[in-house]
Structure 1
Amino acid sequence: MYAKTNWRSQQRNAYLAGLLPSLIVLVIITLLPAMALIVTSLTPLSLTNPQATFQFSDPLINYRQLLDDPRFINSVITQLKMSLVSVLLQVVIGLGLALLLNGASAWLHTARTLFLIPMVLPPIIVALIWKIIYTPDISPLHQLLEMWGITLPSLIANPATALWAIVAADIWQWFPFTMLMVLAALQMIPKDPLEAASLDGATSGNIFRYIVLPYIKPVLVVCALFRLIDSFKAFPLIYVLTDGGPGSVTEVTNYYGFIQAFNFSYWGYGSAIAVVILVGVFVLSYIVGKAGWSDERKANA
């Protein structure tokens, strides 16, 4: 009994010793900056008032101002519209293409490789590509449409289309992520249930609904979570394509925080915006995760 207890103690110590370097790095690069961000958000710090670095006389003043800031409220609404639409379409398009490209032939392998190209490009390169596409004077898309007698105005200069133009660029870059994840899940589905359902006369729709979809549902939830989190970081597209315009129709929350911190030098206010984004991402991720896994938990209960 003593030897068994001693072995477990040594095993636990070995695990802790192995985790310690990673935990130290995690604290340095994640927890300490997060704590600094929260502390800064509780101060009126700005470059014009550097002595306010450690002023905590009214720690919630930045958060109260956010509630009365119509530009911030508009940025939150814009962020939610962009994130929800882009994530939903990325999951749907990625799922559809994964189902079409699920196979072992050489041309399917080539097609899968080509579809992965947008995902591996640097975000700034993607932004420049779509800047060219959306600029009428040099855009191949606009020139092609003009050959057919169709005149299309600049989508990123039109307040009605600017946000959706950014959404289209974001979808183009990141739908391969969902496609790749779903493809991996599809190729791991056991063949026996599929063959049995086919022999019993089940249609392709029923096979997908009752066998394939339940099996890949956890993967879809993970993809949605990852893309939801990343959608709050769509900074390069907005910076290059619209600079938050026209007006403020594409000014999402992180871009508004950037403007407050680096254009106006309100570091305390910008930090408060960043903290709100962090909390919002956690809340939305929890909601998506809970909704996605609730059925599976009921089934296992």
Structure 2
Amino acid sequence: MQQTKVTWHTRQRNAYLLGLAPSLVVLAALTLVPALALVITSLTPFSLTHPQTSFNFAHPLQNYQQLLHDDRFLHSLVTQIKLSLFSVFFQVLTGLLLALLLNGRTWILQGARTLLLIPMVLPPIIVALVWKIIYTPDISPLHQVLDRLGYPLDSLLANPSTALWAIAVADVWQWFPFTMLMVLAALQMIPNEPQEAASLDGARAFNIFRFIVFPYLKPVLAVCVLFRLIDSFKAFPLIYVLTDGGPGSVTEVTNYYGFIQAFNFSWWGYGSAIAVVILVGVFVLSWLIGQAGWNNDYKTT
């Protein structure tokens, strides 16, 4: 009897693996193979102007050693950290506040939620073009309104002190609906009984949120931070359209610098090394967020 049970589970597992096999093959072809090619290329000085160097592994760590002394690369890392921290923080904060504000079943709130989801479903290049218009003084409705009110505003994208933050604002506008949608879904799953009991006992709204609602939202917010942090390293369309990395290299983040090295200067080996560093950095940040312990309270409730 026991032998039949084990055989059944074995056959069931094999059936699952057989069903997943085509998807796993496609996934490997689309992700693992390009990733492996990226790592291999990063170990060579491959350049389109010198194609014979594509399999030159005489100094496999040369690109990575050069990165440690590349001031422009180090500056791009600092720029990336600034952009990621600012955009992710305000995406999560804005999404959380709007989700709490729009958590209801009336048709007005449902319509508002639908409208606020529009930025997230727009193609990134369209978002970049929209904000390009907003930030261009000659055609910007924002600049025209401020001029009529007596508060003329210079170009935010041409100013080195504001260009990066202008990109961050556009990124927040595009992706705060993601957090809002996730938090709204979590709010719908929170039981009403603890909140009603706390309200009858005279608890204030802030304390109800802090001690009852927020512990349920912590795992969801951790997922939002993780996903948005990973995506913040891919803010390429905004930078390409709005500033092209300028003024100077003020808005030149790490992936954009890798793009310049690979496609402008044809240093594919060096550009691949930059991409590998980004990939490793994303994995490390993801692991750190996973180890932050935000799920502990949720598991014990």
Same fold (TM over 0.5): yes
Query: In the alignment, which residue of structure 2 is the partner of 1:222?
Result: 223
Q: Tell me which residue corresponds to 1:29.
A: 30
Cα contact 1:178–1:220 (8 A) shared by 2: yes
Corresponding residue number in structure 2 for 1:102 = 103
Which amino acid letter does the alignment assign opposite residue 30 of structure 1? T
Match of 1:193 in 2: 194
Deviations, residues 237-294 of structure 1 (Å, cap 9, x unaligned)? 0000000000000000000000000000000000000000000111111112222526
1:162 and 1:250 in contact (8 A); partners too: yes
Q: Give the match for residue 275 of structure 1.
A: 276
> Which residue does 2:61 correspond to in 1?
60
1:26-62 CA distances to partner (integer Å, 9 max, x unpaired)? 1100000000000000000001110011110000000
Instruction: Report the Cα distance in structure 2 between the residues aligned to 1:226 and 1:87, rounded to whole angstroms.
Output: 9
- Which is worse superposed, 22-31 or 39-48? 22-31
Preserved contact between residue 219 and residue 295 of structure 2 (Cα < 8 Å): no
- Report SS of the residue matched to 1:56: coil
How many residue pairs are counted as aligned between the two chains?
A: 300
Deviations 1:200-228 (A, max 9, x none): 11110110000100001100000110000
Give the secondary-structure state (helix, strand or coil) at the position aligned to 2:125. Answer: helix
Q: Distance in 2 between matches of 1:108 and 1:8?
A: 48
Counterparts of residues 1-301 of structure 1 (less than 5 Å): 1-293=2-294, 295-296=296-297, 300=300
Q: Which amino acid aligns with 1:205?
A: F
What secondary structure sits across from 1:224 in the alignment?
A: helix
Aligned with 2:189: secondary structure?
Answer: coil
CA positional deviation for 1:8: 1.2
Paired residue secondary structure (1:293)? coil
CA–CA separation in structure 2 for the residues paired with 1:293 and 1:42: 38
TM, length-normalised to structure 1: 0.98
Contact 2:218 2:295 (8 Å CA) reproduced: no
The Cα of 1:6 is off from its aligned counterpart by 1.3
Q: How far is the alpha carbon of 1:300 from its aligned partner?
A: 4.2
Is the partner of 1:187 in helix, strand or coil?
helix
Distance in 2 of aligned mates of 1:61 and 1:296:
46
Cα displacement string for residues 86-107 of structure 1 (whole angstroms, at most 9, x for unaligned residues): 0011000000000000001110
Structure-2 separation of matches of 1:262 and 1:122: 23
Instruction: Report the alpha carbon displacement of residue 296 of structure 1 after superposing the two structures with TM.
Output: 3.4
- Superposed CA offset, 1:140-190 (max 9, x none): 000000010111000000000000000000000000000010001001101
**Which amino acid is 1:279 matched to?**
V
State, as a whole percentage, how many aligned pairs show the same letter. 72
